[in-house]
Each structure stands twice: as structure tokens, then as C-alpha cells.
Amino acid sequence: MQDKPTGAEIRQSFINFFVERGHTFVRSSSLVPGGDSTLLFTNAGMVQFKDVFLGTDQRPYTRAVNAQKCLRVSGKHNDLEQVGRDNTHHTFFEMLGNWSFGDYYKREAITWAWELMTEVWHLPKDKLWATYFRDELNEIPEDREAADIWLAQPGFNPDHLVPFGRKENFWEMADTGPCGPDSEIHIDRGLDFCEFGDDPDHICAVNGDCGRFLEFWNNVFIQYNRLSPTQLVPLDKTHVDTGMGFERIVSILQDTPSNYKTDLFLPLINTIQVMAGQNDHEREANLTPYRVIADHTRATTFLIADGVVPGNIGRNYICRMLVRRAARFGMKLGLHDPFMADVAQVVIDEYGDFYPELKRNATAILDNLTREEKRFAKTVHAGLEHLDELLTDIKTKGGQSLSGEKAFDLYATLGLPLEITRDIAQEQGLDVDGAGYEQAMEAHRLISGAGKDFGELGGEQVKVYTKLLEELIDTGKLSQSGVHYEPYRAIEEPVEVLALLNNGAPVETVQTGDLVEVLLPKTWFYVESGGQVSDTGQIVNAEGKAWNVQVTGMRKPAAGVIIHIGEVTRGNPRVGDLALAQVDRDRRIQIMRNHTATHLLHSALQDILGRHARQAGSLVAPDHLRFDFNHPEPMTREELLTVEARVNQAILTNFQLRIAQKPLDEAIKEGAMALFGEKYEGVVRTISIGEEDVLSYELCGGTHVDETGDIGLFLITYEGSIAAGIRRIEAVTGWQAYQVARERMNLLDQVNVKLETSPTEILTKIEQLTQSLASAEKEIDRLRKKLVADEFDQNLDKVEQIEGIPVLKAILPNANIDALREMSDKFRQQYPSGVAVLASEQNGKPILIATITDDLVKRGLNAVELVQKVAQIVGGGGGGRPTLAQAGGKDASKLHEALDQVHAYLRGSLDQQ
């Protein structure tokens, strides 16, 4: 049987398949949708491409393939209560997709889908089903085109093509906008997957109500623009948008009855089992807690990596709730100390290669989980006890549900999220009044006036910032466009602290040790974008009040709002104080060197390797730069050195950088390079390097050195592959480059001292040493053979006669297996009829050779049987031919005892004629 592919292999095979067909691999966007405050979390692969379909965003490619991180905690198809109770519901999941933006259409999409499923993944053709659109209202034309393409696929069963109406097979982004028919692909998993097998009225069907037919891929064909409920107009350019449920396809290809039994979850489940100390039977009896913990830990690990830490509102509340729900289910397995970090570490190990943000943020992930579990542990017992009293009380009074007010009180005072309260109530057959909970929350907000939106979903967190922004604009503290962002020149004058936030809520003042978000009217701290990391630094008081905020990160939580994230390291900052924002300059300069070097590297790669070597991703950090680009094979050493030299040439020429603002169309027409995954607006910033002959011309919002000479030195430290057709280069510049060079030279100096030579002589010296070592080894080999031969000759005196046959048993301590074989030959030359068993010890392990002459083989002896019988004593086994066999073992100390077996064997095996 073939080995089942791993989840990582399946993900990669999907990507490779479409990369090979001209698609550009686009990295997953964050779980926090950029610039879309209507959406709590990225919930589908198309979120990052939405604006491309709407025509407000342009990309430098027309075919894309991606694997997108998604999270759903509420909604028609994914109620949180379901997660953990069955085999298929998840909060976090991945979506695979291939995309055409005005490029190919239905024929390619369906033909490739069929090819991938049947020829790459070898799914059985007779188990696959497809649907196409036929309008039940007869207003929109039937999608005959898709139907005919399906029928033309080799081996596709025409009976497996079924039409469906608007609900299943017509996709719309919103009430108006791009839309079109779609085609779903289902697989028949067989009768075992049907839950209603006993019901005579039940018929299994595609889009039916049982688990037998599983939809795993939807291909959407965008061809209309909806102007009103009754008005559809055809689009000039048609698009393809597909989404494949990754967990589903893995479960299909690994042939598991549950997504949780795939290798996407099993390592997590196994870790939980070890911590819980349960055997397999106990685990199967307790699947719900295992599934909840595995799902929620995976989700929160990815959330924290994307900057969503446990907190009180919006997204942060979801993270908190998921950690606490997992912790509560952990208690059912006897896990009372924080345990999620151990499970999260497995998530990081398993997923970190494809999602490097997990590795990058590993410390933050583990720390945040443990901290939140500890916070919860402080109140959970009181909370659970109190809830239990409340539920018992309801039951004795014959009630049905817990009031929303009490449920809210449990969260506000004892930290029990509504979702946990509901879990527990449902376990006891009771309900919780969700609407009442909302009301109580609203009342609380009015009373406290703090604007704390406890546990509300949907853009609430953004609302805190937009509300703040509105107030500041109303009072004239900020202009209509919000915070003034000017990362390209230092702001030296004091500015007023406009707002401070602690725990997601605005506060008047904060204290030493508090985590804080600081809002200033303008800032020159760079906010992570285009691969360049955020600045760090400090905000100090400008009026002698002696307070200090250490800024560790930057964020744009809503349009017009930029906040400095940090910790108060001294004093009590207060809203209205005057402050000076100081970027860590050395770090910024090193980042600028790396960013400009990245542009030079990009252009050198295109020169040396060809135009296809386009940027596929980059990281510009203070200590190194990382550059991913399209190229089908490893770079040769010569290519690497040429690229490195080309960049250093540009550095030494000391080009001035020319930075300009111009309309996007104009820049693209002039040949400026636009980068994948970046969103550009009407007017763009361009960076060009080079005089008449422009070396590099890119759209870029990053910070750069004034002239290339500022970079100092550029050294490549790594070249490797990260995905099919995508290579990665890592490099250092400036001070780091100097350090790398200095360390190598130090090492060379040390080697010279050890070898008593000089840099110019070192290679000759090493060659001499290698040669003399080789001849010494040869000599040693010759001497050893002589030694073994001498030992053997001495042993020849000990040849015994057993049953009239000459038998030699000997241990030759210095012999390797070749030498033993040679000695066996020698024995046979001296004794045309005889048996020899020779043994030795190699690296502490016994080795054995048995030889039996042909005449004795005819009398029933067999070297294989003999060597096996002997090797058994030393804990091993072996094989070979009847005349010559060899064996190994474990315990060399038993060799003498083992050789004693020879007699018994001979007596027992000779034909008694």
C-alpha cells in the first residue's frame, strides 16, 4: 500500500499544481482583515482579493494560488457549540484556492480541477460528483457551459452531474456587486458515512442531510455585476474564485473518518493524551474535550501570532473565550495547571514551516496562553461553583434557562465567558438567555460609561478607535485625516498625548508596569508594511515629569488611527501631557540599509537570473533581510557570487536614491515594479536607484538610505528553497555584515594557528594533511590485515575434529567483516572439507561469519542456520548462502558462549547416515 500523503504534502501539492500552471503563490493574509472593519476575522480565501474583484485594487499577476488561514466562531454553518462535539466543525481552518483575475475561465478551472483530483491525487473517478447552476426562477441563464465542460472530462460519470438553484449554486459577494454561478465538487464517501442507514425513507444525496456525500471544493465563476435585486449585467472580465476545505481534503486523502484523525490534529491530540495520562480507550470515551482543546489551541496559536491576544472586546474577547473554553474542557481531563503552551508548541512545530509567523512569535504565543490560563484559574472555581448553585436552583424551581443578567454577571465578576456558561448549562439540559445577556451588557456599558464592549462580536474593537477618532476630530485635536504619519523625517518637537488605552479601553492615566497604547497627533514611527518591520523606541515626557514608555510595536487598528504599543517603564503618563517620540535610530538606520539593499538585490537577481526572478515576499528587519523570489532551481555558487558582487558594486558607486510621488498608472507605465500582496492606492511612492541607466525602480512606502554607499557592505548568508519554484536569500548589511566577515576571519586566524600556517598557505597545508592522513590510514589498514592474518594463523592450531569434520571457532578481535570473509576463504583453501565460525567486535557490537564447504552442505549443513543459531545468543540474526552467511548482534560479551553452539548444531544437523 502507498503511504498516505501528509497534510503539508497535500497543501504543497495543490500549490505546486497551480504554480506549474502559471499561478503566482500568494501568502495567506492575516486572520485580522486589513482595512475591512465589517469583518471580525478573515473567513474565506477571497477576503484578501475582494478589492481585485471590485476593481479597486490591481495586482501584478492574473493567476494566483493560496492557502488562507480562516476563523469562524459564529454563523449559520459554524456554531461554536458544535466545535468539539463532532468530527467536522472547527473554529480555525485553512482554505485552498486558485484564482483567475480576468484570465482563464470555466474550461481551464474545471479541467484542472479534474486533473488534480484524478491524476495527481488519484481520487476514484466514479466517486466524484459535480453540481452546476440552473435557476429555479428561470431568470438567470442556466450554466450549460460548466455542465458541458464537466461532461467532457475523461472518465466523468454523466449521471454524477446535478443541477441546483440559487441557494447552492449562485454566489454573490453582497446585495450588489460581482456575482456568478458556481460548481461544487462532492465525493461519495460510502454508506459507512451515512447516519440514517436504518431509516427506510432516507435517500443519500448530494447536498442531502447525511454525511455520505461531502462537498470539498467550490469553483465560483464571476461573470455578472448585480446592480439591483432584478438587474444583472455581464462583466467585461470574468474571474474564477475557488475554495477547497483543507481539513476535508486531507481527511479524504488520508482516508480518516474524522478531521481530528488526520495528521493536522493527531500530534496535538497525542500530546493532550500524554498530559492527561489516559489510555486509548479512555481517550475515545472522552473525545469532546480532546477535540475542543486541539481546535481551540490551534486557533488561539494562530490568533496570537497575528497579534490578537486575550482581552475583553471584539477579537481579543474571542481569543480569551477560546483559551478559557479549552481550559475548562482541560479540567474534564484532569488538567488543572496551564497546559495549552505544550499543545501550542506542537502547533508551532507542525505548522511553522508553512506559516513562519508562528515560529517568529513563538514566545508571545506560549506566554499569552499561559498567562490567560493563570488569569482564568484565579476565578474559575468560584465561577463554576456559583454557576452550579444557580443551575441547581433553576432546576429545583422547574425553570428552563439562566437569565442573561446572571450570565453576564458571571463573566464580569468571575471571568466565565457566556460560551462556557452555555456549555455547562446545556450539559445539564438548560439554556441561557442570550438576548438578556446582550441587554445586561448594554446596561453595564451605560452604567460604567467606559465603553467596554464586553464580548461583543463584529467590529466592536474597531469602534473603540473610530469613536476616539471622531471625538478627537470634533474637539479639533486631530484633522479629518486622523493621525499625521510621517515616517520619512524625524519629528523633533513635543506633541500632546491625545489618548491612552489600557486593556483595549481608553483611560486618563497609566502607571509604571502597565501595558499601554499611546495615540499622538503625529508620528514618525514606521508601521510594519511591505515587509519592513515596525520601529521601536520610546516616548518620553517633554515637561520634566519623568515618565517613559518603551515602544515595542506599532499598529493601525482603523483608518486614520496609529497607535504606539508599549509598556510604561517609569512614572505616570497622563492624557494631555506633552511628549517626545524617539525612534530607536540605530535600529532604524540598520533597517534602512537592509531595505535599500533589498531593492538592489531584487534588481541584481533579475539581471543575472532573468525577468522571472520576481519578488514573492520579503522581510526587512534590523539584523538581516530576507528575500523570496520566483526561480525554478537552486542558484549556482557562481550566480550567488555575481549577484552579491553586483549589489556591492552599486553600493560603492554611491548612487543617490530618487524618491517621488506619482499616479499608479504612470509609475506602472514607466516600468516601476509593483509587489505581490501589496495594495496600492491612486498616488504611489516610487524609489529609483541609478543615474541614466536605472538599476532599480519600485513602488515602495518603506524607509531608505539617502545614497547607496550608506549600506556599507552586503553579504549573502543563505540561499535555499521555501516552496516549489520559490527561492529564498538571506543577507546582512552594514554593521552586521562587518561582524559576519570579522567572525569568519577570526575563525580562519584560529585555524591558521592550529595548523601552524598562513592564509595563503592554508589550502596547500590542508591538502598535505589530507594526503598524509590517507596514506597513514592505508598503512594502518595493511597492518591490521597482517595482524588479523597472524591471529588467524595461530587459531588454525585450534582446529578441532567434531564428528570427523575439521571445525574452527575463533574470535579475531581486530577484524572487520571484510577481514572475516577473507579469513573464511583462507580456511576453505586449507580445509577442502570443514566448518568455520569467525567472530569479531566492531564498535562494541558482535559480528559473525560462518562458512561450510560444499560437501558438508550436501550432508545437510547450512551456514545460514548455523549463523542464526549462534547469533541468537548475542541477541541478533543474519543471513546469506548455505556456504557463507554472516550475522550481527548486540551483546559482544556473549561471543564465547555463542560459539559453543557450533557443536550442538553440528551434532543435531548432520545426516545420520
Torsion angle in degrees (nearest 10) through CA of 795, 801, 803, 805: 70
- Quick check: 799 binds Zn ion (CB under 5 A)? no
b/e 86-114 (16+ beta carbons within 10 angstroms → b)? eebbbbbbbbbbbbbbbbbbbebbbbbbb
> Is 670 or 855 the residue whose CB approaches Zn ion more closely?
670
Least CB distance to Zn ion at residue 647 (A): 15
| Chosen residue from 71, 162, 194, 899 binding Zn ion by CB under 5 A | 194
b/e 63-73 (16+ beta carbons within 10 angstroms → b)? bbbbbbbbbbb
Least CB distance to Zn ion at residue 519 (A): 27
DSSP E strands in 28-176: the ranges are 63-71, 92-101, 128-133, 161-164, 170-172
Least CB distance to Zn ion at residue 305 (A): 24
Select the span of 300-308, 409-417, 660-668, 694-702 touching Zn ion (CB under 5 A): 694-702
Q: Are 232 and 224 in contact (CB under 8 A)?
A: yes
> Is 345 or 594 the residue whose CB approaches Zn ion more closely?
594
Side chain identity, residue 154: P
Select the span of 201-209, 271-279, 750-758, 903-911 touching Zn ion (CB under 5 A): 201-209
Least CB distance to Zn ion at residue 742 (A): 28
| Chosen residue from 23, 50, 212, 626 binding Zn ion by CB under 5 A | 212
> Is 581 or 699 the residue whose CB approaches Zn ion more closely?
699
> Is 160 or 784 the residue whose CB approaches Zn ion more closely?
160
Residue 118 has what DSSP assignment? I
Distance CA 410, CA 424 (A): 13
Least CB distance to Zn ion at residue 745 (A): 32
Least CB distance to Zn ion at residue 194 (A): 3
| Chosen residue from 362, 527, 700, 815 binding Zn ion by CB under 5 A | 700
Q: Would you state the cell numbers that stand for residue 3, as one nine-digit string?
A: 503511504
> Is 318 or 731 the residue whose CB approaches Zn ion more closely?
731
> Is 529 or 816 the residue whose CB approaches Zn ion more closely?
529
Select the span of 108-116, 288-296, 696-704, 850-858 touching Zn ion (CB under 5 A): 696-704
Q: Are 792 and 812 in contact (CB under 8 A)?
A: yes
Select the span of 212-220, 458-466, 567-575, 877-885 touching Zn ion (CB under 5 A): 212-220
Q: Are 906 and 803 in contact (CB under 8 A)?
A: yes
Least CB distance to Zn ion at residue 189 (A): 10
- Quick check: 210 binds Zn ion (CB under 5 A)? yes
Select the span of 192-200, 435-443, 458-466, 900-908 touching Zn ion (CB under 5 A): 192-200
Select the span of 208-216, 321-329, 397-405, 798-806 touching Zn ion (CB under 5 A): 208-216
Select the span of 97-105, 203-211, 446-454, 504-512 touching Zn ion (CB under 5 A): 203-211
Partner residues linked to 228 by β-bridges: 231
Least CB distance to Zn ion at residue 204 (A): 3
Distance CA 860, CA 910 (A): 6
Select the span of 515-523, 701-709, 753-761, 787-795 touching Zn ion (CB under 5 A): 701-709
- Quick check: 702 binds Zn ion (CB under 5 A)? yes
Q: Would you state the cell numbers that stand for residue 247, as one nine-digit string?
A: 481539513
Q: x/- site string to Zn ion, residues 550 to 569, per CB under 5 A? A: --------------------
| Total Cβ atoms within 10 A of residue 345 | 18
> Is 276 or 700 the residue whose CB approaches Zn ion more closely?
700
| Chosen residue from 39, 204, 724, 740 binding Zn ion by CB under 5 A | 204
Select the span of 186-194, 216-224, 233-241, 622-630 touching Zn ion (CB under 5 A): 186-194
3-state secondary structure of 8: helix
Least CB distance to Zn ion at residue 526 (A): 12
Transcribe 463-484 into DSSP letters.
HHHHHHHHHHHHTTSSBTTBSE
Radius of gyration of the chain (CA): 36
Size of residue set near Zn ion by CB under 5 A: 6
> Is 54 or 191 the residue whose CB approaches Zn ion more closely?
191
> Is 11 or 704 the residue whose CB approaches Zn ion more closely?
704
Least CB distance to Zn ion at residue 202 (A): 6
- Quick check: 621 binds Zn ion (CB under 5 A)? no
Distance CA 284, CA 293 (A): 15
> Is 36 or 168 the residue whose CB approaches Zn ion more closely?
168
Transcribe 637-673 into DSSP letters.
HHHHHHHHHHHHHHHHHTPBEEEEEEEHHHHHHTTPB
Q: Are 125 and 157 in contact (CB under 8 A)?
A: yes
Least CB distance to Zn ion at residue 393 (A): 43
3-state secondary structure of 721: strand
> Is 591 or 838 the residue whose CB approaches Zn ion more closely?
591
Distance CA 241, CA 100 (A): 7
Q: Which of residues 249-268 bind Zn ion (CB under 5 A)?
A: none
Select the span of 175-183, 344-352, 700-708, 815-823 touching Zn ion (CB under 5 A): 700-708
Q: Are 719 and 640 in contact (CB under 8 A)?
A: yes
> Is 291 or 704 the residue whose CB approaches Zn ion more closely?
704
- Quick check: 695 binds Zn ion (CB under 5 A)? no
> Is 160 or 785 the residue whose CB approaches Zn ion more closely?
160
> Is 210 or 430 the residue whose CB approaches Zn ion more closely?
210
> Is 205 or 748 the residue whose CB approaches Zn ion more closely?
205
Least CB distance to Zn ion at residue 678 (A): 9
Name residues whose C-beta falls within 8 Å of residue 442's C-beta, 6 or more positions apart in sequence: none
Partner residues linked to 656 by β-bridges: 707
683-689 and 657-663 beta bridge pairing: antiparallel
Q: x/- site string to Zn ion, residues 750 to 769, per CB under 5 A? A: --------------------
Q: Are 859 and 911 in contact (CB under 8 A)?
A: yes
**How far apart, in Å, do the first and last CA atoms of the chain sit?**
49
Distance CA 767, CA 760 (A): 13
Transcribe 565-600 into DSSP letters.
EEEEEES--BTT-EEEEEE-HHHHHHHHHHHHHHHH
Q: Phi and psi of 513, rounded to 5°?
A: 95, -15
Residue 261 has what DSSP assignment? G
Select the span of 109-117, 187-195, 234-242, 793-801 touching Zn ion (CB under 5 A): 187-195
> Is 416 or 601 the residue whose CB approaches Zn ion more closely?
601
b/e 395-409 (16+ beta carbons within 10 angstroms → b)? eeeeeeebbbbbbbb
Q: Are 729 and 639 in contact (CB under 8 A)?
A: no
Where along the sequence are the contacts to Zn ion (CB under 5 A)? 194, 204, 210, 212, 700, 702
